Amino acid sequence: MSWYLLIPFGFLIVAFAIRMPIGLGMLAGSIAYYIAKGLSLGSLLNTVCYGLTNAYILIAIPLFIFTANVMNSSEVTDKIFAFARSLIGRRHGATGYVNIVASLIFAGMTGSAVADASGLGTLEIAQMKKEGYDMPFSCAITASTAVIGPIFPPSIPFVIYAMISGASVGKLFMGGMVPAIILCIVMGVYVYFVSKKRGYPIGAKVTFRYFISSTFKAVPALLTPAILLLGIYTGIMTPTEAGAVAAAYTLIIAFLVYRTLNARALGTILFNTLRITGAIFLVIAGAYGFSFIVTSEQVSKIVVEAMSGIVHSPWVFLLTANILFLILGALVDVNVSELVFIPIILPLVKYFNIDLVHFGVLICLNMMIGLLTPPFGMLLFVTAGIGKVSMKDLIREVLPLIGVLLVALAIITYIPDTVMFMTHLVK
């Protein structure tokens, strides 16, 4: 390892300090490193572009983003919300439970927490306000349930992790299912106690007729996760192909079944898909430059040697990794955390013989919990904006929920079968 390594990381720190787009900072740092080392700048193009042409799995990302945008623009979320309401029925704090169930269903269609919070979240917060829930709680529960989005398949962070680690995307998707259910259960228990204590409203009576009607309307939307999961589970389709088929299916139901989409809206959806894909992609392109540097400077080897002298047990390593990624998740964007830091510690995961799928699921959960914590708590910003609540009130309300999610994280970390059980079923 030479001092040249300080150059790209110095640029990264500068990018953080001056609000420069992180991807641009990473690329500029890579360029500076190449210049300092006397390497051809054409070879940086080579590293980035060939890296991208070999990352077949990443094609799933724009497809999942597209599906999420179609879902959010075509009132499919309304059908999901109505269906979730009919499932929960009359209970104290019913809409709190509805929030959880609807997020789980929505998670099966998209792979993004922010898409959940901004799309479905708008509906959930408005309904909770109408029923008299206090706004900080409504925003806090909406932000927390959005965490389920990338844990239940499909998941954009899982796709990126698979690209970095070489783990099977199909197994990661399957591995996220039980943890997502655990998250629902712990949040459900929290909603139960809070609703009782604060006397939150009882849900509307659900007649058999309403249940049948809402289920019937939701069936076309509910088939989206079924297509995705069955396609991947049976091995008929790769996750990327399943992403394309799900996107096509979503378009069909939005245009022909629900008739809530028109050509103009489709143009906006395509433009938004391009913007989000481009934002993620620049970080990925910068990360290819960084990964070349990290590999050629043998950073991983040094990290393994240093850490293996300090940490002797896989359990302690997992605890350390959890703390590290929780902090990173609170400070740095998910894609940056994944693309910069995971390649550095991945050799340690192999050194401690930890399953890559198990590690991937719990690291993604860490980063998602990080989205709930300031200063980079993207989900807090989104829901505070929707509910028009102060960050101070929202943070006070979200803290116990973070505690509850940490309990789930501990369960998932130290009982690997919560993740691995489903992965054994993948063909």
Partner 1 sequence: MGVIRKVFRRFADFIEVQLPIAVFVMLFLAFLINVFFRYVVRDPQNWTFELSINAFVVVGLLGACAAYRMEDHVVFDLLYTRLNSKGRNILRMISSVIVIVFFSIALPGSIRYLVRLPAVTSIMRIPLRYIFLPYPILLISMVSRSAYRLVLDIKAFRNKSYVQSYNPEHGDALI
Instruction: Verify binding: residue 285, partner 1, rule CB under 8 A.
Output: yes
DSSP string, 195-231: HHHHTPPBPPP--HHHHHHHHHHHHHHHHHHHHHHHH
Build a one-symbol-per-residue string for 374-393: x at contacts with partner 1 by CB under 8 A, - elsewhere: -xx-----------------
Instruction: Verify binding: residue 94, partner 1, rule CB under 8 A.
Output: no
Residue indicated by tokens 């505070």: 384
Assess contact for 142 and 117: CB atoms under 8 A.
yes
Pairwise CA distance, residues 237 & 250, whole Å: 17
Residue 253 CB, shortest distance to partner 1, in Å, is 16
Instruction: By CB under 8 A, name the one of 113, 177, 183, 237 that touches partner 1.
Output: 237
| Candidate segments 79-87, 137-145, 327-335, 412-420, binder of partner 1 by CB under 8 A | 327-335
Instruction: By CB under 8 A, name the one of 10, 21, 201, 385 that touches partner 1.
Output: 21
Backbone conformation region of residue 134, classed left if phi is above 0, alpha if psi is from -120 to 50, else beta: beta
Instruction: Verify binding: residue 124, partner 1, rule CB under 8 A.
Output: no
Instruction: Verify binding: residue 46, partner 1, rule CB under 8 A.
Output: yes
Instruction: Verify binding: residue 274, partner 1, rule CB under 8 A.
Output: yes
Instruction: Verify binding: residue 253, partner 1, rule CB under 8 A.
Output: no
Instruction: Verify binding: residue 275, partner 1, rule CB under 8 A.
Output: yes
Number of residues that bind partner 1 (CB under 8 A): 64
Pairwise CA distance, residues 184 & 365, whole Å: 13
Instruction: By CB under 8 A, name the one of 6, 45, 189, 306 that touches partner 1.
Output: 45
User: What amino acid is encoded at 30 in this protein?
Assistant: S
Evaluated on CA atoms 369, 107, 274, 8, the torsion sign reads positive
Those residues whose C-beta lies under 8 Å from the C-beta of residue 5, and which sit 6 or more positions away, are 293, 297, 299
Evaluated on CA atoms 17, 19, 21, 22, the torsion sign reads positive
Residue 171 CB, shortest distance to partner 1, in Å, is 21
Instruction: Verify binding: residue 276, partner 1, rule CB under 8 A.
Output: yes
| Residue with Cβ nearer partner 1 (19 or 205) | 19
Instruction: Verify binding: residue 273, partner 1, rule CB under 8 A.
Output: yes
Residue indicated by tokens 């349930």: 145
In this structure, the number of other CB atoms found within 10 A of the CB of residue 9 comes to 17
Build a one-symbol-per-residue string for 47-66: x at contacts with partner 1 by CB under 8 A, - elsewhere: -xx--xx--x-xx--xx--x
| Residue with Cβ nearer partner 1 (28 or 139) | 28
Those residues whose C-beta lies under 8 Å from the C-beta of residue 154, and which sit 6 or more positions away, are 60, 64, 108, 110, 111, 173, 228, 239, 242, 243, 246
| Chain residues in the site for partner 1 (CB under 8 A) | 11, 14-25, 27-28, 31-32, 35, 40-46, 48-49, 52-53, 56, 58-59, 62-63, 66, 236-237, 240-241, 244-245, 247-248, 270-271, 273-279, 281-285, 331-333, 335-336, 375-376
